[in-house]
Amino acid sequence: MMSLEALALVVTNDDGRIIVFSKLFAPGFGFHHIVTMNADGTDRRQLTDRPWDDYQPEFTTDRKHIFFARNVGGLVSALWVMNPDESDHRRLTQASFGSRWGRRFT
């Protein structure tokens, strides 16, 4: 069973069946990655795995995409989007300091 203390943010899609969150892998020297799973804990899938932080995931209202912040090499973040099946990662904004994206982009 996964500890909720290890999670940075948990968000469900509109029908509450799928959860998306960022999780710190290897605390102390690891990176946050985006993970989805069913609300009952089954079908857990890590969607990102590169050597940088991906966090603050949000489903779009149509549940076709996931927005998230990506931090590469420091305190600079950019808004990215991907499909829930891990495909089609695209950067949407230039990097900015201390950004929090929230639902204004959904």
Q: Where are the domains of the chain?
A: 4-105
Q: What is the pLDDT along the chain (106 residues), one digit of tens a residue?
A: 444 434 444 556 566 788 888 888 776 677 889 999 988 889 999 999 888 889 889 888 888 899 999 887 766 678 899 998 889 989 888 766 554 544 444 4
- Is 106 strand, coil or helix? coil
Instruction: Dig out the tokens for 103 from the structure.
Output: 């639902």
What CATH number was assigned to the domain covering residues 4-105?
2.120.10.30
- Is 83 strand, coil or helix? coil
pTM score above 0.95: no
Report the residue count for the chain.
106
pLDDT of res. 35? 92
Instruction: Dig out the tokens for 19 from the structure.
Output: 């959860």
Q: What is the spatial distance between Cα 81 and Cα 16, in angstroms, rounded to a whole number?
A: 20
Can you say how many angstroms the Cα of residue 37 is from the centroid of all Cα atoms in its chain?
Answer: 12
